[in-house]
Structure 1
């Protein structure tokens, strides 16, 4: 199914899917979505690009090995839990900080940090699997 139309449309479709996956991840605690489903959408975009361009081109486009991204996600999710312990509340208790910036309120929270970690783990793990199925690591 590697047609000219697919090879032409896949980069734009992949970019759109990655942007949409970040949107789904960021709205996760207020509406349906979150890090896991956003990560699946993002990994699907990477897989589509890999099918059209090949595993070597996808690895070059990513610039970071996907398993490194997964490891970073685990660290971010753990940090979200340890921040709670530092404030003497149970592990993974949600904490919020609200800042005002030019008249707008910006809310940062440990659940957001946890969701970003889950997103990175899912994108990294699924992309690693997809790239391994698409081609050998030494194909670069």
Structure 2
């Protein structure tokens, strides 16, 4: 389904979907959303990109191997949980730090790093499955 219309509209759709996936990721624990749903939206954008331009274009666009992305996400999510143990609180307890960036106090939390890890696991895992299935169909 490699049509001129799809190849023309795909960059706009993909850009909006990736932007929306990051929005859903960042609103995470305060409202509905988070790493899993944001990751699914990002993988959907990669699927549209793959339909429009092919598997090799997707592999070039994501730079790293999808399983490497998933592995890094799993490491980040695990470290986010273990970080609380070093401060004498139970595993997976959320910890916050408030650094000042250009005079503005920015709250950072292990909860957010966990969500980013889940996002990367979902993107890497599902992208690996989708790309593997698509390549197998063309062999």
Aligned length: 138
Aligned counterpart, 1:19 = 19
TM-score (norm 1): 0.92
Query: Which structure 1 residue ranges, 5 or more long, are not aligned?
Result: none
Aligned to 1:126: 126
1:21-100 alignment runs, 5 A limit: 21-100=21-100
Query: How far is 1:11 from its partner?
Result: 2.2
1:5 aligns with 2:5: yes
d(CA) in 2 for partners of 1:112 and 1:40?
17
- In structure 2, stretches of 5+ residues that fail to align are none
How far apart, in 2, do the equivalents of 1:131 and 1:21 lie?
20
RMSD: 1.6
1:58-89 per-position Cα deviation (integer Å, ceiling 9, x unaligned): 10111111110000000000000110010011
Quote the offset at 1:15 in angstroms: 2.1
